[in-house]
Amino acid sequence: MVQDAAVAAPNVYTVLFEDEHVRLVEARVKPGDSSPLHSHPAGLVYVVSGGKVTFGTGAGDRVDIELKTGTSRWRAAEEHTTASRDSADIVVLIFEPK
C-alpha cells in the first residue's frame, strides 16, 4: 500500500489544517527536491507559486508538467512521484474533503 503524501514525503507535504470535514495540505517543492511514490485522495488543488515538475507513476511512466500560478482544478485520487524541474520553490495547496 502506498503511503499518504504527508507521511511519505514530509520534506514536501505539510498538513496545515485537519478536522472531520477537510484536510488542507501544503506542497512546497524546492529546487532539486523530489518525493517518493505516495498517494492523494481526491481533492481541489490550488497553485500558489507555479513551476515545472515531473510526475511519475508506480509503473515508471513520467510526464513533465508546468503548474501555472493562480490555477486550480479538481484532482481524482492518485498515486505519483514528484520531482522539481524549476529554479524556485513551487507551492501548491491541496484541499481534501473527507
User: In this structure, what CATH number is given to the domain that contains residue 26?
Assistant: 2.60.120.10
Asked if 73 and 47 count as a contact pair (C-beta separation under 8 A), the reply is no
- Phi, psi for residue 93 in degrees, rounded to 5: -105, 135
82 within 8 A of 54, measured Cβ to Cβ: yes
Its pTM stands at 0.93
* pLDDT of 1 over the 80 cut: no
Q: What is the pLDDT of residues 56-86, one digit of tens each?
A: 998 999 999 999 999 999 999 999 999 999 9
Which cell is 74 given?
479538481
Residues 6+ apart with CB under 8 A from 79: 2, 37, 38, 39, 40, 57, 58
Counted domains in the chain: 1
Expressed as residue numbers, the domain containing 18 is: 5-97
